[in-house]
Structure 1
Amino acid sequence: MACRISVISRHISSPPLEHLDDLGVRVAPEVRSALSSGVGVVALESTIVSHGMPYPQNFHTAQEVESIVRANGAVPATIAILDGVPCIGLSLAELERLAKLGTMVSKTARRDIPYVIARRGNGATTVSATMFFASKAGIKVFVTGGIGGVHRQGESTMDVSSDLTELGKTPVAVVCAGVKSILDIPRTLEYLETQGVTVVSYSTDEFPAFFTPNSGCKAPCRADSVEECADIIEANTKLGLGSGILIGVPIPAEHAAAAKNVESAIQSALHEAEGIAGNSVTPFLLKRVNELTGGDSLAANIQLVKNNALVGAKIATALTTRLSRFTKSS
Structure 2
Amino acid sequence: MNHLIDLTKEVQEALENNKPVVALESTIISHGMPYPQNVEMAKKTEEIIRENGAVPATIAIMDGRIKVGLTEDDLELLAKEGRNVTKVSRRDLAEVIAMKTLGATTVASTMICANLAGIKFFVTGGIGGVHRGYEEHMDVSADLDELGKTDVVVISAGAKSILDLPRTLEYLETKGVPVIGYQTEELPAFFTRESGLKLASHFDTTEDIAKVIKAKHDLGLEGGTSVVNPIPEDEALDKDYINGVIQEAVEQMEKDGVGGKEATPYLLKAIVEKTDGKSLEANINLVYNNAKIGAQIAVDYYKL
Shorter-chain-normalised TM-score: which range? over 0.9
Counterpart residue type for residue 227 of structure 2: I
Q: What pairs with 1:1-330 in structure 2 (closer than 5 Å)?
A: 19-20=1-2, 23-274=3-254, 275-322=257-304
Counterpart residue type for residue 87 of structure 2: K
Normalising by structure 1, what TM-score?
0.90
8 Å contact from structure 1 (residues 200, 248) kept in 2:
yes
**CA deviation profile, 1:24-59 (whole Å, cap 9, x unmatched):** 211111000001111110000000011111111111
Q: What SS is found at the alignment partner of 1:312?
A: helix
Counterpart residue type for residue 295 of structure 1: G
How far off its partner does 1:189 sit?
Answer: 0.5
Counterparts of 1:281 and 1:262, CA distance in 2: 17
Counterparts of 2:200 and 2:91, CA distance in 1: 29
Counterparts of 1:107 and 1:262, CA distance in 2: 26
Counterpart residue type for residue 9 of structure 2: P
Counterpart residue type for residue 271 of structure 2: V
Q: Which runs of 4 or more aligned residues in structure 1 lie more than 2 Å from their structure 2 counterparts after TM superposition?
A: none
Counterparts of 2:232 and 2:296, CA distance in 1: 17
Q: What SS is found at the alignment partner of 2:158?
A: coil
**CA deviation profile, 1:76-122 (whole Å, cap 9, x unmatched):** 00000012211111111111111111111101001100110111101
**CA deviation profile, 1:148-201 (whole Å, cap 9, x unmatched):** 000011122110000000000001110000010000000000000111100011
User: Which piece of structure 1 moves more, 88-97 or 185-194?
Assistant: 88-97
Q: What SS is found at the alignment partner of 1:273?
A: helix
8 Å contact from structure 1 (residues 257, 300) kept in 2:
yes
8 Å contact from structure 2 (residues 5, 117) kept in 1:
no
**Identity in percent:** 53
Larger C-alpha radius of gyration, 1 or 2? Answer: 1
Normalising by structure 2, what TM-score?
0.98
Counterpart residue type for residue 298 of structure 1: L
Counterpart residue type for residue 259 of structure 1: K
Gaps of at least 5 residues in structure 1 are 1-18, 323-330
8 Å contact from structure 2 (residues 193, 231) kept in 1:
yes
How far off its partner does 1:293 sit?
Answer: 1.1
Counterpart residue type for residue 15 of structure 2: L
Aligned residues: 302
